[in-house]
Amino acid sequence: MGAKKSPKGLIVDLITPLNHKGDIDIEGLDSLLKNVLPYADAILLAGPQMGEGRGLDLKLKIELLEKATGIIQGKVPIFFWISEDSPEGTEEALALLEDLLDSRNYKGMIFWLDSPLSYHSNRGLYDHYQDLTLNARHPFVLYNDPGLIKRLERPFKRSNIRTNILKELSKLEKIKALIFRGSLTRANNYQKALSMRPDFRVYDGDEAGFLEHPSLSGILSMGANIAPRIWGKVTRASLGMPEQDREKPGYLSQIWEMGKLLKDLMQIYNRNPVWIIKQALFDLKIIGSPACTTVTEPLKEKKVLLAEFVSRHTID
Amino acid sequence: MKKGSRLLKQAREVLQIEAQGILDLIERIGPEFEHAVEMILNSKGRVILTGMGKSGMVCRKITATLNSTGTPSVFLHPAEAVHGDLGVVTADDIVIAISNSGYTKELTTILPTLKTLGTKVIVFSGDSESPLAKESHLFIDVGVEREACPLGLAPTTSTTAALAMGDALAVVLVNRRNFNRKDFKRFHPGGSLGGRLSLRIKEVMLTGEQIPVVFKGQTVEETIFEIDRKKLGASLVVDDSLILRGIVTDGDIRRSLLKLRDIMGLKVEKIMSTSPKTIDEEKNVAEAVDLMEHNAITVLPIVDKVQRVTGIVHLHGLLGGKEFRLNGSQKIA
């Protein structure tokens, strides 16, 4: 397991379907996964953005992993966000989640996604990961999202993993990849720091950036919750992955149109993606409730826009 | 003004991404590159480049670079290869296949045949796990992390990286072969190597009165006068039907003098070489140069199907020792 590369392609930053009581909406999860799995190369669960990972308690996270593994059954790799408020909390979460997988004898690929700067400074990060990865049975993926760190109540001084620290961390074989949000200059610096690890993938965590200058490892997509087929097509085209209809006339113009459509879609949900996309999935009867973990300001005009968009295009 | 700034920002981003793609190769290039160099140096054949689409264009450029720096190279279109052009490949050749994805159907189709021929295959690709990479004898990683063009509409950083790796290969081969200024001049007699080497021999050969020739039965003295007049360092020996029977070079005369002393009155057939190398006038200049180099000779008689002499070429004439001349109305582009 440890020697395997992380997958290339479309990682769906899955919303966590919840019912009005705040429990996992099992039917909604099943329906949503069946909708996205044919087009996804990996699924991120409990992610800090779309998965509302910061609002889910550990019990709910464990339940989410349990139910999702039962549905996914190893068809695609799972990325699962494990970060808690402290190194100790994260270690505890990791141990419990690994125990769950062991008890279920899960054979599919799992990658633990961690945003280290949400609970740890750059200083001492290598030692922290030496400890964290030492007994872990599944590989890790790092998540560098300065926006996430800046939104914390007590953020650390730095919101990005320092380049030389990342270079050190890449020496740990169990760390397989990085999901990156940030400037192109930083992306290039990271890439240079990681050049001794050709197996190390750097995924785009920013849809707009990916649609402009695609990372050839892949994309963590929010919009794929609602438009998985189009995101799948555009991702495969951008990455030059095998496609049956690549040779067909009009293929490139079709991809161009799809890319434009995804940019339009992003404009609709980018101010409050979780709430707006959950509303849309609820309207499409894919999930049973648009409930979120935190109260968010409903953007009524966006909901109307998205409803109009859905009615205009076949986006499933 | 604002629009201009935005355009320049985008352009700079593209340059930054493509530059980074090449910089990453510096860190990752390894022993497999050295193996590729050795493989090519030890090969008795040519380097055959093959790839589809933009990769095919990269192949064409690398082919031109290799040719102009002393490594014989040919471009093979993969789609044409499956319809007969594979016949150009021999077991002595090295094939370099370029595909960023490593899944290009036309290349995966011809790979088994190439391996059956015994040809060594080097793959330039961005995916070490791809079918092409796995089936190759040698995999060169030209993977990049980011394309500059949106939506994969056109490969950008990946083709730049493959092209740069090809240049790296050509330059290293130049140094390993001790390619020098003289060699460069040889391959660039007028700055248009491709044009010159692809000319047919009949367009550049010396004909008629320009051919140094004596008949069987003439003396060595007459032959020396003929060699001196025509200034090619040799004379052809023919029979009454102008059929080539032999050749006498400055070297033949020198060796005969040392051996026989008084040779001036001897008949020329006593000292001539009886099996001179020849070539057909429809062949191209590159083939004539190859033949002369391989046999360490400087003049080459041109004959027709019944061995009748139609012309002669001199290595210096072809490769820049003298000005390269055409004998007809055609000009080098």
pLDDT digits (tens, 9 = 90+) for A186-234: 998 998 898 888 889 999 999 999 998 899 899 999 999 999 999 999 9
pLDDT at A4 over 80: no
Cα gap A50→A287, rounded to integer Å: 14
Contact flag B28-A187 (C-beta cutoff 8 Å): no
Output phi, psi for B301, to 5 deg: -70, 145
Cα gap B284→B248, rounded to integer Å: 25
pLDDT at B1 over 50: no
**Helix, strand, coil content of chain B in percent (nearest 5):** 50, 15, 35
Same domain, B74 and B130: yes
Same domain, B136 and B268: no
pLDDT class of B27 with cuts at 50, 70, 90: confident
Same domain, B217 and B288: yes
Q: Which residues contact B140 (CB under 8 A, 6 or more apart)?
A: B32, B33, B36, B122, B123, B124, B125, B165
Same domain, B127 and B246: no
Triad B231, B295, B200: Cα angle to 5°: 70
* ipTM score assigned to the predicted complex: 0.72
pLDDT class of B161 with cuts at 50, 70, 90: very high
Quick check: B146 contacting A, CB < 8 Å? yes
CB distance A203 to A176 below 8 Å:
no
Which pair of tokens denotes residue B15? 């340059």
pLDDT digit string, tens, across residues B80-113: 888 878 888 899 999 999 999 899 989 999 999 9
pLDDT class of A295 with cuts at 50, 70, 90: low
pLDDT at A3 over 80: no
Cα gap A64→A70, rounded to integer Å: 10
User: Which chain A residues have a beta carbon less than 8 Å from that of B24?
Assistant: 191-192, 195
Same domain, B298 and B251: yes
Average pLDDT over residues B57-75: 91
List the single best residue of B146, B147, B157 to mutate versus A (max A Cβ within 10 A): B146
**Residue B187 maps to a domain:** no
User: Which chain B residues have a beta carbon less than 8 Å from that of A198?
Assistant: 28, 128, 141, 143
Q: Which of A293-302, B80-89, B277-286 has the lowest mean pLDDT?
A: A293-302
pLDDT at B51 over 80: yes
Residue A1: its pLDDT value, please?
Answer: 41
Average pLDDT over residues B275-291: 88
**Residue B332 maps to a domain:** no
The Cβ of residue B15 has, within 10 Å, a number of other Cβ atoms equal to 11
What are the counts of helices (DSSP H) followed by strands (DSSP E) for chain B?
13, 10
Residue B175: its pLDDT value, please?
Answer: 83
Contact flag B153-A234 (C-beta cutoff 8 Å): no
Contact flag A216-B101 (C-beta cutoff 8 Å): no
Q: How many domains does chain B have?
A: 2
Same domain, B157 and B27: yes
**Residue B152 maps to a domain:** yes
Average pLDDT over residues A220-249: 88
Chain B residue with minimal CA distance to A194?
A: B24
CA distance B51 to chain A (A): 15
- Tell which of B125, B147, B179 closes a domain: B179
Residue B69: its pLDDT value, please?
Answer: 82
Q: Which domain holds residue B266?
A: 196-319
Chains A, B: CB contacts within 8 A come to 81
Same domain, B19 and B134: yes
Interface of A with B in 184-223 (CB under 8 A): 184-185, 187-188, 191-192, 195-196, 198, 202, 211-217
pLDDT at A301 over 70: no
User: Which chain A residues have a beta carbon less than 8 Å from that of B143?
Assistant: 198, 216
**Residue B110 maps to a domain:** yes
Same domain, B151 and B208: no
Interface of B with A in 25-44 (CB under 8 A): 26-28
Alpha-helical (H) ranges within B118-274 are: 131-135, 157-176, 181-187, 193-197, 220-230, 250-260
Closest CB from A237, A242, A255 relative to B103 = A242
Contact flag B151-A216 (C-beta cutoff 8 Å): no
pLDDT at B244 over 90: yes
Q: Which residue has the higher pLDDT, B27 or B99?
A: B99
- The CATH number of whichever domain residue B92 belongs to comes to 3.40.50.10490
Identify which of B131, B102, B120 has the alpha carbon closest to the alpha carbon of residue B40. Answer: B120
Same domain, B31 and B141: yes
Output phi, psi for A221, to 5 deg: -110, 135
pLDDT at B50 over 80: yes
Average pLDDT over residues A40-45: 98
Residue A192: its pLDDT value, please?
Answer: 86
**Residue B326 maps to a domain:** no
pLDDT at B308 over 90: yes
Q: Which residue has the higher pLDDT, B63 or A305?
A: B63
Q: Which residues contact B42 (CB under 8 A, 6 or more apart)?
A: none
Same domain, B148 and B248: no
List the single best residue of B27, B129, B139, B145 to mutate versus A (max A Cβ within 10 A): B145
pLDDT class of A47 with cuts at 50, 70, 90: very high
pLDDT digit string, tens, across residues A111-126: 999 999 999 999 999 9
**Domain architecture of chain A: domains with CATH:** 9-312 (3.20.20.70)
DSSP-derived secondary structure for B89-109: --TT-EEEEE-SSS--HHHHH
Strand, helix or coil for residue A135? coil
CB distance A195 to A220 below 8 Å:
no
Residue B280: its pLDDT value, please?
Answer: 92
Residue B195: its pLDDT value, please?
Answer: 57
pLDDT at B196 over 80: no
Q: Which residue has the higher pLDDT, A306 or A5?
A: A5
Interface of A with B in 218-237 (CB under 8 A): 234, 237
Share of chain A above pLDDT 70, in %: 91
Share of chain B above pLDDT 90, in %: 58
Quick check: B109 contacting A, CB < 8 Å? no
pLDDT class of B309 with cuts at 50, 70, 90: very high
Quick check: B155 contacting A, CB < 8 Å? yes
Q: Which of A73-87, A271-285, B65-79, B169-183 has the lowest mean pLDDT?
A: B169-183
- The CATH number of whichever domain residue B268 belongs to comes to 3.10.580.10
pLDDT class of B324 with cuts at 50, 70, 90: very low
pLDDT at A296 over 80: no
Residue B329: its pLDDT value, please?
Answer: 33
Residue B326: its pLDDT value, please?
Answer: 47
Same domain, B63 and B150: yes
Closest CB from B14, B16, B147 relative to A188 = B16
The Cβ of residue B5 has, within 10 Å, a number of other Cβ atoms equal to 9
DSSP-derived secondary structure for A251-311: HHHHHHHHHHHHHHHHHHHTTSHHHHHHHHHHHTTSSS----SS-----HHHHHHHHHHHH
User: Which chain A residues have a beta carbon less than 8 Å from that of B16?
Assistant: 184-185, 188
List the single best residue of A213, A219, A239 to mutate versus B (max B Cβ within 10 A): A213
Same domain, B175 and B302: no
Alpha-carbon radius of gyration of chain B: 26
Q: Can you name the residues that pair with B94 across neighbouring β-strands?
A: B47, B120
**Residue B44 maps to a domain:** yes
**Residue B188 maps to a domain:** no
In this structure, the strands spanning B73-75 and B94-98 are unpaired
pLDDT at B189 over 60: no
Contact flag B150-A184 (C-beta cutoff 8 Å): no
Residue B328: its pLDDT value, please?
Answer: 45
pLDDT class of B331 with cuts at 50, 70, 90: very low
Q: Which residues contact A69 (CB under 8 A, 6 or more apart)?
A: A78, A101, A104, A106, A108
pLDDT at B68 over 60: yes
Residue B186: its pLDDT value, please?
Answer: 59
Give the mean pLDDT of chain A.
90
- Tell which of B179, B214, B243 closes a domain: B179
The Cβ of residue B118 has, within 10 Å, a number of other Cβ atoms equal to 11
Which pair of tokens denotes residue A202? 């750097």
pLDDT at A235 over 90: yes
Residue B322: its pLDDT value, please?
Answer: 47
- Tell which of B179, B207, B228 closes a domain: B179
**Helix, strand, coil content of chain A in percent (nearest 5):** 50, 15, 40
